[in-house]
Amino acid sequence: QKEVEQNSGPLSVPEGAIASLNCTYSDRGSQSFFWYRQYSGKSPELIMSIYSNGDKEDGRFTAQLNKASQYVSLLIRDSQPSDSATYLCAVKVPNGGSQGNLIFGKGTKLSVKP
């Protein structure tokens, strides 16, 4: 059973702080990792993708991947109230071919307090 685990939260941070979201996955063969943001009642939107060990930065967002520990994280710097949402970690199934599907974690609810 392929699994993606996240702390459901809620994670509450003050405006301007760094929010740290964590995710672990069970399939060691996984190669592609994604963070999606989902506002209530809306579909997910892609925030970051990461494929190799290390950090990947895009604006206020930094994704970190450690394949040895089967761990991927998302850091949000200078958190804003508009960042309040549920963040979904997703891992691409290794044997899904070039268009394989994603396994989603249950998501972490982030609340940024003004």
Partner 1 sequence: GAVVSQHPSRVICKSGTSVKIECRSLDFQATTMFWYRQFPKQSLMLMATSNEGSKATYEQGVEKDKFLINHASLTLSTLTVTSAHPEDSSFYICSAPLLKQGGGTEAFFGQGTRLTVV
Contact residues: partner 1, CB under 8 A: 32, 34, 41-46, 49, 51, 88, 90, 92, 98-107
AA identity, residue 23:
C
The least CB distance from residue 41 to partner 1, in Å, is 7
Q: Which residue's CB is nearer to partner 1, number 91 or number 112? A: 91
Q: Which residue's CB is nearer to partner 1, number 76 or number 105? A: 105
The answer to whether the beta carbons of residues 78 and 16 sit under 8 Å apart is: yes
Please enumerate in sequence order all residues whose Cβ is within 8 A of that of 56, keeping only pairs 6 or more positions apart, or say none: 48, 50, 62, 63, 64, 65
The least CB distance from residue 93 to partner 1, in Å, is 9
The least CB distance from residue 43 to partner 1, in Å, is 4
Q: Which residue's CB is nearer to partner 1, number 18 or number 53? A: 53
> Which structure tokens are listed for 15?
């405006």
Task: Bin 106: left if φ > 0, else alpha if -120 < ψ < 50, else beta.
Answer: alpha
